[in-house]
Amino acid sequence: MEQIVILDFGSQYTQVIARRVRECNVYSTLVRFDTPASEIAAMNPKGLILSGGPSSVYAKEAPLPDKAIFKLGIPVLGICYGVQLLAHYLGGKVERGDKREYGKGTLAVADPQCALFKGLSRELQVWNSHGDKLTRLPKDFVVVGTTENSDYAAIEDSRRRFFGIQFHPEVVHTPRGREIIANFVHGVCGCGRDWTMRNYVEQATEEIRARVGKDRVILGLSGGVDSSVAAALIHRAIGDQLTCIFVNNGLLRAREADVVREVFGRNFKIRLQYEDATPLFLRKLKGVSDPERKRKVIGKAFVDVFQAATKRAGKARFLAQGTLYPDVIESVPIAGNPAALIKSHHNVGGLPKNMKFELLEPLRALFKDEVRQLGVELGLPKEIVQRQPFPGPGLAVRCLGPVSGPKLEILRKADAIVVEEMKGADLYYKTWQAFAVLLPVRSVGVQGDERTYEYTAALRVVDSQDGMTADWVHVPYALLEKISTRITNEVRGINRVVLDITSKPPGTIEWE
């Protein structure tokens, strides 16, 4: 399989570079900046990309690569910090710029024959984010592009097929950046366009079969996108050697347990072990109001239930998880780098000590949207593949205050109406999340000829790219009216609906 290897020097955009390469239908692999050249050579890449990063090449703890990477005989593209590394290692000079370049800039292409800029205009809008800059070219390099504050914004050594650019082609603020990356991947490195989900299915299936052999695998199936796609892929590879354990904690949305059992048990014929632990979870949550306390109670109860379930499932060697590529990348710290560790993820870092399994993570090479594509390729229904994000603690964090069975049922019915009407208006799959929240607030109302004193429901509809920030969605008034009317008419226990118009920040997407 053809691939491009990307050395990560801590840029916030490193994952985006990997994404852009894959959008060229070429597989990309991210590795630490200090990965030995011998290991990179063993991966047999068609080309190498050096990412940006927040350091200066002269800083005491600057992340520096194995110098032997420049003797591998493959094309190299240095981006921002990456081009400074090229200069630093190959005899050029990097200095602190008189003026820092942040934001939009204009690149004047000095050599339109340069392979990076094939088919592009002589002036390109680019996105800069750097303080240092090249002040002397390495031997055999020539200038192929300049910006307002940099005479060496793009450089090339055509003989060795080394390129360096001071701007970021991977971000959307460089409108023709994807074409620059495509020119490097296809034109310079000679990669084809063979990275497709269909090919990945075949590749991953063989890898799973080879690793698992005749052993058995257990997977905790939540009904979410990641675990569902992992289950479908593993089942395709090893069939009944896989057992999925689905724990109903009583905090699921309407019909969720039925959908999971229908899709995976009846349609896919996956061996599904259904654990209804609703009474246990509700008992543990009784009287608990603090959201963090709720999460801890739910987390511990889940581990206890799941561990007991694995014993009933019989002996297995592997525990499968839906770990994704961003989870893996963000959980690997880069020493001495301010952008080192973004987060630690619950799927990365091993298992509880008393769970004697080997991890099987068949999605760890994929990004979220690629997982959705894989789900479609595997035949999963849209309601699972395009499912909106759902909090791990379920409706417990959308039912403010103490949780109880009756309150959860009220919330479940209201939330089902929100989802149904958003789908009916063709908006559900166009938004990041749309849901109802049950507030611990009662108010007076009049329903029919009777005075009521019932709960208030909040409607939350937001759009986002990655969940890190979010904007509230301007839902049409007619749809808001329909949702409100249906909830107050059909859900006994709610007599008032309000709309949450808070973005993130300052608010969060979930209320707890």
Q: Over the stretch 450-488, which tens digit does the pLDDT of each residue have?
A: 788 999 999 999 998 767 788 999 999 999 999 999 999
Q: Over 60: is that where the pLDDT of 501 sits? A: yes
Helix axes 405-424, 477-490, angle to 10 degrees: 150
Between 79-83, 302-306, 339-343, 353-357, the lowest mean confidence (pLDDT) is in 339-343
Residue 107 has what DSSP assignment? E
Residue 470 has what DSSP assignment? B
User: Residue 196: its pLDDT value, please?
Assistant: 87
Q: What is the CA radius of gyration of the chain?
A: 26
What average pLDDT does the segment 31-45 reach? 95
Q: How far apart are CA 118 and CA 121, in angstroms?
A: 9
This model's pTM is above 0.85? no
Residue 98 confidence class, pLDDT cut points 50, 70, 90: low
Provide the residue type at 370 as one letter.
E
Express each pLDDT in 425-451 by its tens digit.
999 999 999 999 999 999 998 877 678
Q: Which residues pair with 275 in a beta bridge?
A: 247
Q: C-alpha distances in angstroms, 320 versus 181, 212, 464, 473?
A: 34, 11, 29, 36
Structure tokens at 441: 């607030």
Q: C-alpha distances in angstroms, 52 versus 17, 71, 169, 220, 341?
A: 10, 21, 11, 37, 16
**Cβ proximity of 388 and 40 under 8 Å:** no
Structure tokens at 504: 């993130």
Structure tokens at 178: 């994807």
User: Residue 343: its pLDDT value, please?
Assistant: 32
Of the candidate CATH numbers 3.30.2130.10, 3.30.1280.10, 3.90.280.10, 3.40.50.880, the domain formed by 3-188 belongs to: 3.40.50.880
What average pLDDT does the segment 243-270 reach? 92
Q: Over 60: is that where the pLDDT of 333 sits? A: no
Residue ranges per domain, the chain? 3-188, 197-385, 404-499
Catalytically active residues, by annotation: 80, 168, 170
Of the candidate CATH numbers 1.10.10.10, 3.20.20.60, 3.30.70.360, 3.40.50.620, the domain formed by 197-385 belongs to: 3.40.50.620
Express each pLDDT in 53-83 by its tens digit.
888 888 888 899 999 999 999 999 999 999 9
Q: How far apart are CA 480 and CA 102, in angstroms?
A: 42
Instruction: Provide CB contacts within 8 A for 343, sequence distance 6+.
Output: 330, 331
Of the candidate CATH numbers 3.30.210.10, 3.30.70.2740, 3.40.50.720, 3.30.300.10, the domain formed by 404-499 belongs to: 3.30.300.10
Please tell me if the domain spanning 197-385 has the same topology as the one spanning 404-499: no
